[in-house]
Amino acid sequence: MNLKKIAGFAAAEEIQDGQIIGLGTGSTTHYFIEKVGMRMKEEEINVMGIPTSYQSFLLAKEWKIPVTTLEEHDVDIAVDGADEIDPNFNLIKGGGAAHTLEKIVDYSAEKLIIIADDSKIVNKLGKFPVPLEIISESRKPVFSALEDMGANPKIRMAQYKDGPVISDNGNFIVDADFREIDNPIQLEKDLNSIPGVVENGIFSQMVDQVILGTSDGVEVLK
């Protein structure tokens, strides 16, 4: 049973004709984008997408979903994945290094739906390190600030190239391991106040709905 597909396909059924959709990034949103493309063909609904990464842009193209930008349209609904979801629906995102544009698009949406398999539900955020997109020149002071905050930071290294992962925006990604995060709302603000941090992967107080894929089928939270 593909739990990511269950969640992605269920979220695509929420989409209505004429909507502007924020297209999240990752393997779960892959299924969402695919199903939106199928619905456009089979049900002749017309929608436009605002991709949150180059990967999502390519997928939208593949499924013939017209793309637009935040300059031209407001976002009616954004559908995105997550790496961790806590009981208050705060998130860690950025496993795919796309959290900066994801946050811009997701936060500007009228409605934000998070899709995931049920393994992403946690009691407390922090087992998954918090991704931060940083300006490369700021690595040393950013590491010092993170260490002072009790985190163990690491530059994310690329798998198929020597050296660091470079984000779609040309920046480094730092994974900051906090182990347990007591106050994600405050930490989201504190991390962004470190000079050199472009954006961090904590998404607090923004989620309108969570659609989970479980072995019993679809579960809707909130």
Please list the active-site residues: 102
| Sole binder of ligand 5RP in the list 83, 106, 168, 175 (CB under 6 A) | 83
Figure out which of the listed residues 19, 25, 90, 138 binds ligand 5RP, where binding follows CB under 6 A.
25
- DSSP H helices, 43-110, are 54-62, 99-108
Contact between 34 and ligand 5RP (CB under 6 A)?
A: no
The whole-angstrom separation of Cα 6 and Cα 112 is 18
Does the protein bind ligand 5RP through residue 94 (CB under 6 A)? yes
- Shortest distance in whole angstroms from residue 57 CB to ligand 5RP: 14
- Residue 81 binding ligand 5RP, by CB under 6 A: yes
Instruction: Give the nearer residue to ligand 5RP in terms of CB position, either 45 or 108.
Output: 108
Residues 155, 146 contacting (CB under 8 angstroms): no
Contact 29, 8 (CB under 8 A): yes
Measuring CA to CA, which residue among 212, 203, 207 is closest to residue 8?
212
24 is a site residue for ligand 5RP (CB under 6 A): yes
Q: Tell me the CA distances in angstroms from 32 to 7, 121, 166, 183, one per residue in order.
A: 8, 19, 25, 31
Smallest separation (angstroms) from ligand 5RP to the CB of 145: 22
- Assess contact for 205 and 211: CB atoms under 8 A: no
> Rule CB under 6 A: is residue 22 a binding residue for ligand 5RP?
no
Task: Return the H-helix or E-strand segment holding 142.
Answer: helix 139-148
Count residues binding ligand 5RP (CB under 6 A): 17
Residues 143-172 that bind ligand 5RP (CB under 6 A): none
Q: 131 phi and psi, to 5 degrees? A: -75, 140
Q: Smaller CB distance to ligand 5RP: residue 25 or 138?
A: 25
**Stretch of residues binding ligand 5RP (CB under 6 A), selected from 60-68, 76-84, 134-142, 206-214:** 76-84
Q: Does 101 engage in binding with ligand 5RP (CB under 6 A)?
A: no
Are the C-beta atoms of residues 81 and 114 closer than 8 Å to each other? yes
Amino acid present at 202: I
Q: Kindly state whether residue 99 participates in binding ligand 5RP, applying the rule CB under 6 A.
A: yes
Under the rule (CB under 6 A), what is the footprint of ligand 5RP?
24-28, 80-83, 93-99, 102
